[in-house]
Amino acid sequence: MHFTGPTYRPPYEATSLILQATAGCSHNACAFCSMYRNIEFAASPLEEIEEDLASIAHQAHYVSRVFLANGDPFCLPAERLLEIARLAHAYLPYLETIGSYASVRNVAAKTDEELRALAEAGYADLNIGLESGLDDVLAHLNKGFTVDEARSQLARLHAAGLPFNVNIIVAAAGFDRALEHAHACAQLVNEVDPTLVFVSPLHIDPGTPLADELAQELFNESTIGLYISEELEFLRGLELDDAVFYGLHMSNPVQLAGRLPRDKAELMETLADALRTYPPRLLDSHPIKGREGRIIG
């Protein structure tokens, strides 16, 4: 059942070994995303995963991290994830950690005991699409969970000793609510205390519900300048003791990354400098929808 479509991974997993464990996304209903819209969700057979690992073991002499693909493999039952970990450690003797995309819903489906077992098996730094700190924005994006659910489930990961990263979609609340969204996202991220915060602009795939809203002018998209301002305000509100702030996706209008709180002032100055020096025409432009109303994805 090897999946032949595109494979997605966070930019910071560039040096990780990508191992297919699923095809498609178990939720597959986010209002902005079409990555796996036409892919029927399925789990890779364990025999196939073992074949891949055996092949990799003959080619890769040193693998310290595996990232499971595609979609959200953490949706798999804990028993299956533990078996994948057992096989991975057997074939890759230097393996330290295993990551994947995950969701609040995936975490909620597992018991505390299962989460602890997964942490002991090497699962770490899961990439979780938190996206927003506002309930109505999460509902609009059709994420399938609330702020309170996110808060409680990520606390369970902490209790299990399973570190995680979160994604925040800056500008997800639109043009009129940039500051409100920045403050709410900062508050929630401070509460859940991730290892890494991955920030990126709202990206709306063609053919999605949010793309239809944008085309009909039912969603008020932020400009690049307002996006940078919202990211700056979000960063200003972060009070994390030790976390990476990561904004190096190709879609980020200002490329930056650093460790909080050590680099916070420098990162904020980088964003403020962009607002001072970027051409007004760029700051006033809309990254998703062009001047003629064409969605440019």
Homologous superfamily in CATH for domain 1-127:
Aldolase class I (3.20.20.70)
Q: SS3 for 276-289, per residue?
A: HHCCHHHHCCCCCE
State the pLDDT at residue 296. Answer: 31
The answer to which of 24-38, 61-75, 93-107, 136-150 has the lowest mean pLDDT is: 24-38
> Across residues 9-34, what is the average pLDDT?
92
171: nearest Cα among 112, 60, 270, 252: 252
Q: Are 68 and 100 in contact (CB under 8 A)?
A: yes
Distance CA 297, CA 290 (A): 10
Residues 41/26, Cβ–Cβ less than 8 Å: yes
How is residue 52 written in tokens? Answer: 């891949």
Summarised one tens digit per residue, pLDDT across range 141-195 is 999 999 999 999 999 999 999 999 999 999 999 989 999 999 999 999 999 999 9
CA count, 13 A, side-chain hemisphere, 271:
25
Domain locations in the chain as residue ranges: 1-127, 163-297
pLDDT digits (tens, 9 = 90+) for 247-260: 999 889 999 999 99
Which pLDDT score is estimated for 290?
Answer: 47
Per mean pLDDT, which range of 66-70, 156-160, 180-184, 203-207 is the poorest? 203-207
Average pLDDT over residues 52-63: 89
pLDDT, greater one: 156 or 220: 156
What are the tens digits of pLDDT across the range 111-130?
999 999 999 999 999 999 99
pLDDT tens across 225-246, in order? 999 999 999 999 999 999 999 9
The token duo for 84 is 């994948």
Give residue 289's pLDDT.
Answer: 56
